[in-house]
Amino acid sequence: MTGGAAGVGTPEAVHAAALCAGAAAWLAVSARGQGGRRAGLLFGDGAERSPLGKRWESGRRQLQGRLRGRAEWLCLPVALVLGVLGESVLPMVAGAAAVPLVRGWLRRRELRKVRERRADGVVDLCGAVVGELRAGREPGQALLVAVRGTGVMGAAEARVSAAAQFGGDVPGALGQAACEPGLDGLAGVAACWRVAVDGGAGLAAGLDRLEGALRAERRRREELRAQLAGAWSTVVVLALLPVLGMGLGAALGAEPLRVLLHSSAGLACLVVGALLEAAGLLWAGRIVRAGEAV
């Protein structure tokens, strides 16, 4: 009993608590935007109404800005702390190996955000073109104003703008732009444009219906993501359970890092546990992503 009480105040317990706090801070920064919104609600019904919420949001954004493009390198200091605590080089080797994996994951997540922003921009583009057409502008001029106003096309903007301004093949330019990630909706804009030019149908009416369909698809995607947020939270919690168990073991004086890194049985358990953890995360992530793709 005395030994257990003494173990609570040991330096290893303090380090374990600091490690758990660092993991919590990392989740608050890199979680899929949900942690910040939930914390904002907890700190006072949004950042706009509470001074504490404003400070939280400002600090979170500053930390995200500093870590943008370099977040994967946080694996190295975490691995260094674990290596010092465990008196082994294995955590540092694992941390160095984790850097490219984390970089790839962050890059895929950023590309997904870019695709979603561009898809939302196509919806805004349709609405802008419809507004310009109903204001009395010619189709080419309306498209030119909408493209410059939304800035959604990126590298394809110059080609589409030139076709709209000089009477070129606008449907062809829109079709080529639709091949870029996130701009799939431009294929519908190209089809509406081609039908309006060849068949004399109203371009504004067609784009209006296309905008409604794209907005409905966006709402469906957002609702599905909200329903799957609980599943993603469960995956994250299950992934952090081994870390929590090691922190509790260190707090109780069991020295889990020394057992895992300096004994044959511990190394075997570490390798098997890491493989099972990776397999579980991949399996759970595949299930959730399959649900998102429905």
Q: Residue 272: its pLDDT value, please?
A: 92
172-184 residue pLDDT tens: 888 888 888 888 8
Total number of domains in the chain: 2
Cβ-Cβ contacts under 8 Å for 3 (sequence gap 6 or more): 253
Are 181 and 119 in contact, with CB atoms under 8 Å apart? no
* pLDDT score for 42: 42
Distance CA 269, CA 266 (A): 5
Q: Which of 160, 188, 217 is the last residue of a domain?
A: 217
The model's pLDDT over 175-220, given as tens digits with 9 standing for 90+, comes to 888 888 888 888 999 898 888 876 556 888 889 899 999 999 889 8
pLDDT for the residue 7: 42
Asked whether residue 292 carries a pLDDT value surpassing 80, the answer given is no
More confident position, 134 or 7? 134
Residues 6+ apart with CB under 8 A from 271: none
The pTM for the full model equals 0.65
Of 147 and 291, the one with more pLDDT = 147
Distance CA(76)–CA(98), nearest Å, equals 9
Tell me whether residue 294 is in a domain. Answer: no
Q: Looking at the structure, do residues 188 and 121 belong to the same domain, yes or no? A: yes
Token reading at 191: 């089809």
228-115-72 Cα angle (round to 5): 75
Amino acid at 16: A
SS3 label, residue 9:
coil
Do 126 and 58 fall within a single domain? no
As a whole number of Å, the CA-based R_g of the chain is 26
Quick one: CA torsion of 144, 149, 153, 157, rounded to 10 degrees?
40
Q: Which of 121, 129, 293 is nearest to 209 (CA)?
A: 129
Helices (H), the chain: 2-8, 11-30, 34-42, 51-67, 75-86, 90-134, 139-150, 157-166, 170-177, 186-199, 203-251, 256-261, 264-292
Is residue 26 assigned to a domain?
A: no
More confident residue, 99 or 3: 99
What is the model's pLDDT at position 241? 87
Q: Which two tokens stand for residue 31?
A: 């979680």
pLDDT of residue 195: 85
For the stretch 140-157, what's the b/e string if a residue is b when 16 or more beta carbons lie within 10 angstroms of its beta carbon? bebbbbbbeebebbeebb
pLDDT digits (tens, 9 = 90+) for 97-122: 888 888 888 888 888 888 888 888 89
Any domain includes 43: yes
pLDDT reported for residue 49: 52
Domain end call among 217, 236, 256: 217
Which of 194, 217, 240 terminates a domain? The answer is 217
Tell me if 78 is assigned to some domain: no
Pairwise CA distance, residues 94 & 270, whole Å: 12
At residue 60, the pLDDT reads: 66
- Residue at 284 is within a domain: no
pLDDT tens-digit profile of 44-101?
444 445 666 667 677 766 666 665 667 778 888 888 888 888 788 888 888 888 888 8
* Claim to verify: residue 63 and residue 155 sit in the same structural domain: no
pLDDT(28) > 50: no
For residues 268-293, average pLDDT: 83
Q: What are phi and psi of 27, to 5 degrees?
A: -65, -40
- pLDDT at residue 1 tops 70: no
Residue 147 lies in a domain: yes
How many residues make up the chain in this entry?
Answer: 294
- Residue 53 sits in which domain range? 31-68
- 222 part of a folded domain: no
Does residue 109 lie in a domain region?
no
Burial class (CB in 10 A: 0-12, 13-18, 19+), 81: middle
High-pLDDT (> 90) share of the chain, %: 3
- What is the rounded average pLDDT for all residues in the chain? 77
Are the C-beta atoms of residues 176 and 159 closer than 8 Å to each other? Answer: yes
